[in-house]
Every structure is written in structure tokens, then in C-alpha cells.
């Protein structure tokens, strides 16, 4: 039973109103004393031409009490609905028990393709924590849309072309050697890149060298392209190791270079449609009437730009994958860029559902990161140090834990991901070891530990082999006290939270949900003895523990986080 929908039906039938409108207005009061569901009658005053408290009274009088409601009460302009706790517990927990890891799965997408462009590090530069946000936000959205019946298609749009490669090649030719690059890998390439930006301050001819090397690449110079391929291979080797730690793979690695031979026909289409205008030798699409600066398509020397490639990528991806929507997960610095690109696509006569999913900065305690200045925290270093710190905590608190290396990696990676996804993506994230790795407070390790606690309780009661489906015959109607009921209500909200996260492109909605769930379980665990309870009540509480474990694991999985059974 969808209790919220059933309450909406009662109101809609009693007032002869639209069901969808009513369902959208139903609230869940923050204080359980005000009911389990509430309907504010303010919005009906204009339609019904009556005072909201009068409307509330009239609707209540016309409601036929169903089996699942204990009472309906009026508080001013609100109609408050109280469900029967025993009925509610039976309905919710049986559903979770039957559906297991599929609880919350919905077919909202009906198999439609959602293309998600995320991570996209710049080749020949190290994968640092500045790339973390796009990676974990994009991967969480990938999981969420799959869970809701879409067919997610992940694209890693690697920065594998452009003047940055000209700079690295120029630096390599001036100060590098094959032996040093072979030995140092991407760290050496990054050293050369940083040195270029230091030296160019005193020698502006370096910029000319960089442009010349980039031009050689575009003209197909064999030596320049050989260096380019070599630097790409070095980069991909490091990136692959990091993606393995995150357990992330991509359906496609389409870098910028993929579109080199696909842009000319798009530029020609823009020209033929009359959208291209010359401006100081460059070709632009004028967007003044749409309150935006012009979108640059070709430089004065005929070279393409980011916008040219992104417009081409949209058209290619629509043709290749026939997406129902395409998401671009990048920094908020690119809000204007994507607004321009999407407007040009619209002016070309296309009505695609395109969404830029912007996010804020990941800041180090000392301030904003800069690859050019070398002020970055490398992703590999971050993960290695995080995992080592978790190993130290495990050695201190649970030295006999089995598979310590595996658990340390799961908890360390989970801590990094959860720290990033715990707030709205548009907010900046301040990096903090102490906050991120705490097993107390609002952190990933706290949620993972709660999952392990559920497993421990179940293991003590029924043995490790029976963790999957304990106590199918439990009398769940016994679960009626405040802590039990609050926990069950939170569990029941999981499907709605997943749909909301997809609608708003906000994984933090899942993070906040699973934190609330973990906190509610720990309160239930403190307030209610489980293994020492009377036999029938023990069975019911173990069943509730099993359902909590199931939903915590499912929520963490959507975020890209593992759920260890022991910690």
C-alpha cells in the first residue's frame, strides 16, 4: 500500500478534487504528534471560496474511515491523518522483505536512455581531488537512473586535445627526457606542465611554442601525435587504477579528439541555417536576444572551440544513443557555456532534453586548487592516505577483524564519496580528514558501521548463513513504540527519495536519507532491547533490523559506496 496515495484518494473523493494535485500537497509533519500525514487546506481557499479551517472540517466530515487509519484530526487549516501503527508496520516491512534489494526500484524511465557525461579529467595531468566531484556525482546519478528504469549510458569525455598538450610537449622538448617520463609517469608530466607556467612568466615565446605544437597536432604531424599518444597512455594507466578503486567503469571514453572529424559538418549546418555571423574574423552565433553573449564557433584562424565540440557531441550522442535526456556533470563555472550550447541546439531546430548538472568547488584548507600552480591534492595520494588512516583505526578498535585490507578500502573510499555527496552539489566542499573519517557524526563510516551493527545483531541471533531472510513469520504488528514506528516511516520513504533525487539531479537526497535512517536505527537500538526481548517481539525487531540493513545497503549502493558486514 502507498499510504500517501491512499490518503490523497480519501481527500480527493471527499472534496471532489484532482488526485494528483492533492497528492503533491500532502506533507509529512516533522512532529509525529501532528500526524503521520497532513494536508494544508490553504491552497483550496481560492478554488472553493471558503476559509481554510471550514474546508478542513467539511473534508473531514466526508471522509470514510478506512482500515489503515486510526484517526483524522483538524488543527486549524490542516487535516492530520494518524495511521494504525500495527497495520503500517505489517504493510511496510512485508513489502521491503519481499522486494529485498529491489525495494524502491521503479520503472519511471521505461527503458529510455540517459546519457551522463562525467569525470572527464584532462590528459597529461594528474587525477586530483578537483576531479572527484564530477566523478562521484555523475556515478551516483548513473546508478539512480538505472534503478528507476532508465538505461544509463556513461561517457568519460576526456580532455585529450587542445593547447594544454601543446604546453606539455613544449615543456617536454625544453626540459624533459624519455627516461624521466618513463620513470615518473604522470607526476613527471605534471611537473613539466607546472614548470611551463612558471617559465612562461619570464619567456613569452613559450606560449608561441605551445601554440605551434598544438597546430602540428591538428595538421597530423607524426612526431607531435606520437608524443600525444604516449602521454595519453601514461594518463589512462593512472586513471584506470583510480577508477578501479571507486569500482567505476564507463560505457564510453569519448575524448575531445573523438570529435575532430565530426565538427566540420556541424559548422556547415550552422552556416546553412543562417545562424553563423562573422565577428572580427571569428564565426559566432549571436545570442543577444536570449540575454547571453555570443557563442564562439570558430576562432579567427579557423580553429574550433569547446562550444563547437559540445554542440557536435550533443548531435552525435542523440544520433548514436537516441537518448531521452543528456546530462553534463561539470563545474558551476560552465553554467553560461552550457546555456549557450543548449540554446544553439534549440536554434538549430532540436527539442532535446539537455541538462547541465553544475557543482561547487572542492577546496583544500589553504584555498582553491590550481594545477598550474601545483596546489593540488592528488587523488591517488588522497585514497592511499584515507585507506591507511582507516587501517589504523581498525587496528586500534578491532584488530581481529577478518579481511581488514578489504574493509579499510571500502570504508576509506566510502568516506571520501559520502563526504562529497552529503550536501547539495552546488555547495563548495571543504576537505577535512578529521570530519570525513569520523565514525561518529554525519559521515560515511557512521552509516557503514550502522549497517555492520545490523549484520552483527542478525548474526548473533540466527547465524551468518541466515543473514539473508530471517523470521518471515514475525508478528510485525508488535512494532508500535515511538522509535520503532519512526524507523519504519523512514524506511517507507526510500522510493520517494530516489525519485526526488533523480528529478532534482541531487544525490545528496539519498545521502541525507540514509543518514536519517542510520540515526533512527541507532536510536531504536538504544531504546529497545532486541536479542533480550520476549521471543515474539524479538522476532519482529530482528525483522525490522533486517529491513533496515537491506535499505541501508541499497542506498549506499546508489551512492557508489560498499556496505561491509563487519567493521
Task: Report the Cα–Cα distance between both ends of the chain, in Å, rounded.
Answer: 36
Of the CA atoms within 13 Å of residue 71, those in its CB half-sphere come to 6
pLDDT for res 302: 86
H-helix segments, 16-83: 19-25, 45-48, 52-62
Q: Return the percentage of the chain with pLDDT > 70, whole number.
A: 96
**What are the chain's domains?**
3-83 (3.30.1360.70), 160-249 (no CATH), 379-559 (1.10.730.10)
Q: Is the per-residue pLDDT at 308 higher than 90?
A: yes
> Which pLDDT value is given to residue 365?
66
pLDDT tens per residue, range 29-67: 989 899 999 999 998 898 889 999 999 999 999 999 999
Model pLDDT, residue 493: 95
Half-sphere exposure of 378 (CA within 13 A, CB side): 14
Average pLDDT over residues 343-348: 98
**Quick one: pLDDT at residue 373?**
52
Going by pLDDT thresholds of 50, 70 and 90, the confidence category of residue 363 is: confident
Identify which of 547, 61, 95, 130 has the alpha carbon closest to the alpha carbon of residue 359: 130
Q: pTM for the complete prediction?
A: 0.92
DSSP 197-253: HHHTTT-THHHHHHHHHHHHHHTT-HHHHHHHHHHHHHHHHHHHHHHHHHT---SB-
DSSP string, 116-181: EE---PBTTS--BGGGHHHHHHHHHHHHHHHHTT-EEEEE---B-SSHHHHHHHHHHHHH--HHHH
What is the Cα 213 distance to its own chain's centre? 38
pLDDT of residue 464: 46
Q: Flag whether pLDDT at 4 surpasses 60.
A: yes
Reported as a pLDDT band with limits 50, 70 and 90, residue 401 is very high
Measuring CA to CA, how many Å separate 387 from each of 186, 368, 414? 22, 24, 10
Using the predicted structure, report yes or no on whether residue 324 has a pLDDT greater than 90. yes
pLDDT tens digits for 451-478?
999 999 999 987 644 445 556 788 999 9
Average pLDDT, the chain: 93
Query: Around 408, how many Cα atoms within 13 Å sit in the side-chain half-sphere?
Result: 22
d(CA 505, CA 424): 10
Among residues 50, 145, 73, 72, which one has the least CA distance to residue 106? 145
Cα of 392 vs its chain's centroid, Å: 29
- pLDDT at 186 > cutoff 80: yes
**Residue range 263-286: average pLDDT?**
96
Look at residues 485, 456, 459 and name the one whose alpha carbon lies nearest to residue 93: 485
pLDDT in tens, 94-148: 999 999 999 999 999 999 999 999 999 988 888 888 889 999 999 999 999 999 9
Is the predicted pLDDT of residue 311 greater than 50, yes or no?
Answer: yes
What is residue 430's DSSP assignment? E
108-117, 278-287, 301-310: the lowest-pLDDT one: 301-310
Nearest to 553 by CA among 514, 520, 519, 521: 514
Query: Would the pLDDT of 202 be above 90?
Result: yes
Tell me the average pLDDT across 424-442: 87
State the pLDDT at residue 375: 56
* Cα angle, residue 391 at apex, residues 387 and 396 outer, rounded to 5°: 150
The pLDDT, as a whole number, for residue 368 is: 55
> Number of C-alpha atoms within 13 angstroms, CB side, residue 192?
28
Among 155-159, 415-419, 435-439, 445-449, name the one with the lowest average pLDDT: 435-439
**For residue 202, what is its C-alpha cell?**
619570464
pLDDT for res 133 = 95
Write the DSSP symbol of residue 378.
B
- Output the nine-digit C-alpha cell for 269: 549546418
Confidence of residue 409 (pLDDT cuts 50, 70, 90): very high
CA-nearest of 485, 476, 440, 463 to 565 is: 463
Which region holds residue 307: left if phi is over 0, alpha if psi is between -120 and 50, else beta?
alpha
358: alpha, beta or left? (left if phi > 0; alpha if psi -120 to 50):
beta
Does residue 350 register a pLDDT over 50? yes
Yes or no: say if 158 and 256 are a contact pair by the CB < 8 Å rule.
Answer: yes
13 in Cβ contact with 5 (< 8 Å) = no
CB burial readout 395-434, b (16+ within 10 A) else e:
eeeeeebeebeebbbbbbbbbbbbbbbbeebeeebebeee
Mean pLDDT of 341-358: 98
Contacting residues for 265 by C-beta, under 8 A, at least 6 apart: none
Phi-psi group of 115: left, alpha or beta (phi > 0 → left; psi -120 to 50 → alpha; rest → beta):
beta
Amino acid at each position: 500500500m502507498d499510504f500517501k496515495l491512499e490518503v490523497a484518494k480519501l481527500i480527493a473523493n471527499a472534496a471532489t478534487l484532482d488526485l494528483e494535485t492533492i497528492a503533491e500537497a500532502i506533507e509529512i509533519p516533522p512532529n509525529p504528534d501532528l500526524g503521520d500525514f497532513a494536508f494544508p487546506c490553504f491552497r483550496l481557499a481560492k478554488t472553493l471560496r471558503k476559509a481554510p479551517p471550514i474546508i478542513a472540517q467539511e473534508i473531514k466530515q466526508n471522509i470514510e474511515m478506512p482500515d489503515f487509519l486510526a484517526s483524522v484530526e483538524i488543527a486549524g487549516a490542516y487535516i492530520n491523518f494518524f495511521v494504525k501503527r500495527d497495520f503500517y508496520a505489517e504493510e511496510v516491512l512485508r513489502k521491503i522483505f519481499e522486494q529485498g534489494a529491489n525495494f524502491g526500484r521503479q520503472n519511471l524511465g521505461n527503458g529510455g536512455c540517459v546519457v551522463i557525461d562525467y569525470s572527464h579529467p584532462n590528459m597529461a595531468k594528474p587525477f586530483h581531488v578537483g576531479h572527484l566531484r564530477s566523478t562521484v556525482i555523475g556515478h551516483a546519478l548513473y546508478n539512480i537512473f538505472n534503478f528507476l528504469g532508465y538505461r544509463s549510458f556513461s561517457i568519460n569525455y576526456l580532455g585529450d586535445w587542445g593547447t594544454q598538450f601543446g604546453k606539455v610537449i613544449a615543456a617536454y622538448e625544453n626540459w624533459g627526457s624519455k627516461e624521466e617520463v618513463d620513470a615518473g609517469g604522470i607526476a613527471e608530466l605534471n611537473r613539466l606542465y607546472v614548470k611551463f607556467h612558471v617559465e612562461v612568466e619570464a619567456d613569452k615565446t613559450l606560449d608561441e611554442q605551445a601554440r605551434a605544437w598544438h597546430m602540428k597536432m591538428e595538421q597530423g604531424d607524426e612526431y607531435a601525435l606520437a608524443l600525444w599518444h604516449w602521454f595519453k597512455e601514461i594518463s589512462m594507466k593512472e586513471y584506470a587504477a583510480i577508477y578501479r578503486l571507486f569500482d567505476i567503469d564507463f560505457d564510453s571514453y569519448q575524448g575531445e579528439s573523438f570529435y575532430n572529424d565530426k565538427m566540420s559538418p556541424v559548422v556547415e549546418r550552422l552556416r546553412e541555417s543562417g545562424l553563423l555571423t562573422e565577428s572580427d574574423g571569428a564565426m559566432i552565433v549571436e545570442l543577444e536576444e536570449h540575454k547571453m553573449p555570443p557563442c564562439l564557433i570558430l576562432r579567427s584562424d579557423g580553429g574550433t572551440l569547446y562550444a563547437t565540440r559540445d554542440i557536435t557531441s550533443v548531435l552525435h550522442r542523440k544520433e548514436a544513443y537516441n537518448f531521452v535526456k543528456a546530462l553534463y556533470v561539470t563545474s558551476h563555472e560552465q553554467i553560461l557555456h552550457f546555456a549557450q550550447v543548449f540554446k544553439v541546439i534549440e536554434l538549430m531546430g532540436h527539442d532535446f532534453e539537455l541538462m547541465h548538472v553544475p557543482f561547487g568547488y572542492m577546496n583544500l584548507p589553504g584555498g582553491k586548487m590550481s594545477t598550474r600552480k601545483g596546489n593540488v591534492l592528488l587523488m591517488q595520494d588522497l585514497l592511499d592516505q584515507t585507506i591507511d588512516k582507516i587501517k589504523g583505526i581498525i587496528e586500534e578498535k578491532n584488530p581481529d577483524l577478518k579481511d581488514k585490507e578489504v574493509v579499510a578500502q571500502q570504508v576509506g573510499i566510502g568516506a571520501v564519496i559520502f563526504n562529497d555527496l552529503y550536501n547539495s552539489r552546488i555547495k563548495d566542499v571543504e576537505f577535512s580528514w578529521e570530519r570525513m573519517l569520523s565514525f561518529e557524526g554525519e559521515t560515511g563510516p557512521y552509516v557503514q558501521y550502522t549497517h555492520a551493527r545490523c549484520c552483527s545483531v542478525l548474526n548473533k541471533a540466527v547465524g551468518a548463513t541466515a543473514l539473508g531472510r530471517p523470521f518471515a513469520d514475525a508478528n510485525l504488528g508488535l512494532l508500535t513504540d515511538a522509535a520503532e514506528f519512526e524507523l519504519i516511516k523512514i524506511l517507507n520513504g526510500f522510493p520517494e527519495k530516489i525519485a526526488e533525487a533523480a528529478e532534482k539531479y541531487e544525490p545528496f537526497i539519498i545521502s541525507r536519507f540514509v543518514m536519517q535512517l542510520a540515526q533512527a536505527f541507532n536510536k531504536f537500538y538504544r531504546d529497545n532491547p532486541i536479542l533480550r526481548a520476549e521471543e515474539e517481539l524479538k522476532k519482529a525487531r530482528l525483522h525490522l533490523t533486517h529491513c533496515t540493513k537491506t535499505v541501508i545497503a541499497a542506498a549506499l549502493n546508489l551512492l557508489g559506496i560498499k556496505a561491509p558486514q563487519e567493521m
